[in-house]
Amino acid sequence: MPWCPKCGAEFREGFTACNTCHVKLIGHKPDGTETIEEIAPPPEGWERESPKKQRILRIIRALTVVLLALAAALLLQHL
Ligand SMILES: [Zn+2]
């Protein structure tokens, strides 16, 4: 089974690269000593997030920051 030396994910036979890290897969379970061979990132448009999705992700991130700030403020009030 091919493995990704970077993220450690196991792939099905026939795969040659990790589509998350864009590195070449190796033939054994990674133990941290492998040389990670970067490959060129995929062409434009491949697995690229749509602008709409990016905007939603940005909003979610902003909301998370606000919620964390609120939680911190509440915690400080109770101290
Ligand atoms: Zn990977």
pTM over 0.85: no
In total, how many domains does the chain have? 2
Phi, psi of 3 (to 5 degrees): -125, 150
Give residue 6 CA to ligand 1 midpoint distance, Å. Answer: 5
Same domain, 16 and 38: yes
Give residue 61 CA to ligand 1 midpoint distance, Å. Answer: 24
C-beta separation of 39 from 22 below 8 A: yes
Model confidence band, residue 2 (pLDDT cutoffs 50, 70, 90): very high
Same domain, 78 and 53: yes
Give residue 31 CA to ligand 1 midpoint distance, Å. Answer: 14
pLDDT (tens digit per residue) in 18-61: 989 999 999 999 888 888 888 877 666 656 667 888 899 999 99
Give residue 22 CA to ligand 1 midpoint distance, Å. Answer: 7
Give residue 3 CA to ligand 1 midpoint distance, Å. Answer: 8
Same domain, 32 and 56: no
Q: Which of the residue ranges 2-6, 10-14, 33-37 would you say has the lowest mean pLDDT?
A: 33-37
Same domain, 40 and 5: yes
3-state SS class at 61: helix
